Amino acid sequence: MSSDGTALRHNAFVYETEDQYLARVVPFLQDGLQAGEGAIVAHTKPGLAMMREALGPDATRVTFVDVSWAYTRPARALAAYHEVYAQQLQKTPKLRAVADVQFGPDPGEWHLWTGYEAVFNRSFGHLPAWVLCSYNANGTPDSVIEGVWQTHPEVVDGDAWNASGLYEDPDRLLRRITPPPQELPDLRSLPVGRDLEQIRERLAPELIAAGLGEAKTLEMLLAATEIAANALQHGAGIEDVRVGRAHGRFVCEIVDRGPGFDDPTAGYLAPRAGVGSGLWVARQLTWRIEFFRSPRGFTTRIWL
Amino acid sequence: MIATECGDSAACRALVESFLPAISNVARGFQGSRVERRELLQEGVAGLLFAARRYDSQLDTPFWAYASFWVRKAMQELVAELTRPVALSDRAARDLSHIRRARNESLQTDGREPTTAELSAATGLAPSHVESLRATDRMPRGLEDRLSADDASSPTVGATIIDSDAEQAYEKVLDDLEIHGVLGLTDELEERERAVVRSHYGLGQEAQTLREIGAGLGLTAERTRQIEAAALTKLRQALARPASIRRTAT
């Protein structure tokens, strides 16, 4: 939380032993409980068991969330955390949370999760939450640890909460790590249609013909509806709708006639007053969304 | 893999079937861990399906090299969770000793695992206390025990192990996935709303116009359109609920 406790405080803690971990996070949560704040532990199953035991009787006042399978895509992980935080904030005016992030084995995806940590600052910037992300130094690659310092404004070092000298503005970091969009020459145009309903009617047979299941077809229809609605409302109308397969995935591009925008956090900001939630919805439902300007116009590319 | 990520339950089954031998191999590495093989396989399948949902085919790593990390991690975490040493108070250790003695006597007398209720009666300890101490000890449970000690309607342990074949281990995971896949998002909708959306866009059936759907429901096309619009709004709202923040009195 900010110094007045009204907005997010997003910190990280790099530890080497279980004792170090418990010595830091248990008092962190207990201090919050004493102050009437909510407490959340997000961890894998053994981490939850360890915390339940360490918290003793206080465990009954803590929400435990198994995040073993939560980190599939950044937008989905953010949505999952948002739901937990939203429920907690209905019960207490503030919350404290400890979270264990799952980076995975392939260096090619680490930047994705560093990006997740960066955008977390913006996504939940409005929530009265103090979130402590924990990283076990044993077995965590140096480049991931470096990313921890780049994405958390404060990092716990020993007994002190220090401002990170490597912290990078989330927008800048996201721009740095996001690869430029590739040209996808195999996509083909669909008749644009006069309204959202007609776009869905023309898109649905393409999805079904591509062999996608009912659930995924509906998810793409909803995501495309959100993007097309934005294009109609803010983008001076739809210029083109293109579909096809690329790298094994179904892709739908919606090209509008407007100037577009340049916001790397678009669709990652959790719902709140004054922020449209269409892109947040679309990101949750799909694999990836890219926004870019091309000779065709401002393009939103949806990967299912 | 992508079809699996895309929620196709048939693809999930095919994926699991093709990797089950590899998952079994990973599970062999945990022999002697005091965790049942069936539980390890179940967790391994969950790890495989998680990997399929997360795997990006544009990565350099082949799928199984990627997935085996999550399969092994899932099993390691299960073992860590279930075999974690638990510090018991002196009193709890004494209670556990009483339970073990009662269990051994029952095994000798009746030749079967005693139920929680029987152990509770033999030791004078509350059923919930017996249950939690048995959990810390990883003591086998009686076939007549309820899976949830506090819920008389929950199935018995015996009912869950009708077939001890290892392949049963992944059926539950897949069934859960299938149910989730079908109901998932549209679970938010009322039956009529779901029917309109599915009919209009040809989900699992021939696509129909709003007029045709309306005729079947005894409604005008415009009313059917309104039902669809309400359904889509409902789905959108389910995914975009803002956190309601309680302000402290100042």
What is residue B2's predicted lDDT score, i.e. its pLDDT? 56
Of the partner residues B6, B57, B186, the one whose CB lies closest to the CB of residue A213: B6
Contact B212, A240 (CB under 8 A): no
Mutation target for A interface from B245, B246, B247, B248: give the one with most A CBs within 10 A. B245
* Of A52-61, A158-167, A244-253, B146-155, minimum mean pLDDT range: B146-155
A35 and B CB contact within 8 Å: no
What is residue B157's predicted lDDT score, i.e. its pLDDT? 42
Does residue A69 surpass a pLDDT of 60? yes
Selected residues 44-73 of chain A with any CB under 8 Å from a CB in chain B: 44-46, 48-50, 53, 68-69, 71-73
d(Cα A94, Cα A97) in Å, to the nearest integer? 10
Does residue A15 surpass a pLDDT of 60? yes
What is residue B184's predicted lDDT score, i.e. its pLDDT? 65
Residue found by looking up tokens 């919350």 in the block:
A95
Amino acid (one-letter) located at A159: D
What is residue B163's predicted lDDT score, i.e. its pLDDT? 35
End-to-end Cα, chain A, rounded Å: 35
Annotated domain spans of chain B: 2-83, 90-137, 184-239
- What is B91-127 written as a DSSP string? HHHHHHHHHHHHHHHHHHHHSSPPPHHHHHHHH---H
Contact A244, A186 (CB under 8 A): yes
Contact A117, A148 (CB under 8 A): yes
Does residue A85 surpass a pLDDT of 70? yes
Confidence band for A165, pLDDT divided at 50, 70 and 90: very high
Q: Does domain B184-239 have CATH number 1.20.120.1200?
A: no
User: Quick one: which of B109, B41, B53, B37 has its CA closest to A109?
Assistant: B53
Phi, psi (rounded to 5 degrees) for A283: -65, -40
Who wins on pLDDT, A33 or B79? A33
Tell me which chain A residues have a C-beta less than 8 angstroms from the C-beta of B247: 93
Who wins on pLDDT, B109 or A150? A150
What is residue A264's predicted lDDT score, i.e. its pLDDT? 95
Long-range contacts (CB closer than 8 Å, 24 or more residues apart) made by B148-157: B149/B116
Q: Does domain B2-83 have CATH number 1.20.120.1810?
A: yes
Phi, psi (rounded to 5 degrees) for A292: -160, 160
Confidence band for A287, pLDDT divided at 50, 70 and 90: very high
Residue found by looking up tokens 């895509």 in the block:
A73
Does residue A6 surpass a pLDDT of 90? no
- As a whole number, mean pLDDT of residues A279-293 equals 95
Helix count and strand count (H, E) for chain B? 12, 0
Q: ipTM value, please give it.
A: 0.86
What is residue A88's predicted lDDT score, i.e. its pLDDT? 94
Contact A95, A39 (CB under 8 A): yes
What is residue B166's predicted lDDT score, i.e. its pLDDT? 43
* Of A44-58, A250-264, A281-295, B121-135, minimum mean pLDDT range: B121-135
B184-243 residue pLDDT tens: 677 788 999 999 999 999 998 999 999 999 999 999 999 999 999 999 999 998 888 776
Beta bridge mates, A289: A302
A208 and B CB contact within 8 Å: yes
- As a whole number, mean pLDDT of residues A15-24 equals 90
Phi, psi (rounded to 5 degrees) for A56: 60, -135
What is residue A259's predicted lDDT score, i.e. its pLDDT? 93
Work out the minimum CA distance from A27 to partner chain B, whole angstroms. 20
Contact A40, A63 (CB under 8 A): yes
* Of A16-25, A47-56, B49-58, B152-161, minimum mean pLDDT range: B152-161
Contact B61 A108 (CB under 8 A): yes
Q: Which domains does chain A have, with CATH numbers?
A: 9-177 (3.40.50.300), 188-303 (3.30.565.10)
What is residue A301's predicted lDDT score, i.e. its pLDDT? 98
Tell me which chain B residues have a C-beta less than 8 angstroms from the C-beta of A7: none
Who wins on pLDDT, A225 or B189? A225
Work out the minimum CA distance from B64 to partner chain A, whole angstroms. 12
User: Quick one: which of A166, A276, A184 has its CA closest to A231?
Assistant: A276
Long-range contacts (CB closer than 8 Å, 24 or more residues apart) made by B90-93: B92/B133
Contact B244 A89 (CB under 8 A): yes
Tell me which chain B residues have a C-beta less than 8 angstroms from the C-beta of A213: 6-9, 181
pTM of the model: 0.80
Tell me which chain A residues have a C-beta less than 8 angstroms from the C-beta of B200: 201
Chain B residue with CA closest to A200: the answer is B201
- As a whole number, mean pLDDT of residues A11-35 equals 93
d(Cα B224, Cα A27) in Å, to the nearest integer? 56
Of the partner residues B57, B184, B246, the one whose CB lies closest to the CB of residue A89: B246
Work out the minimum CA distance from A258 to partner chain B, whole angstroms. 24
User: Quick one: which of A85, A77, A162 has its CA closest to A128?
Assistant: A85
A221 and B CB contact within 8 Å: yes
Composition of chain B by helix, strand, coil, percent to 5: 65, 0, 35
- As a whole number, mean pLDDT of residues A120-124 equals 96
Q: Which residues of chain B have pLDDT under 70?
A: 1-9, 84-90, 93, 132, 134-184, 243-250
Selected residues 98-157 of chain A with any CB under 8 Å from a CB in chain B: 104-106, 108-109, 127-128
Secondary structure of residue B33 in the 3-state scheme = coil
d(Cα A297, Cα A257) in Å, to the nearest integer? 6
Contact B50, B72 (CB under 8 A): no
Does residue A214 surpass a pLDDT of 90? no
Residue found by looking up tokens 């638990």 in the block:
B86
Work out the minimum CA distance from B110 to partner chain A, whole angstroms. 34
d(Cα A87, Cα B58) in Å, to the nearest integer? 36
CB atoms within 10 A of CB A110: 17
Residue found by looking up tokens 């152990």 in the block:
B119
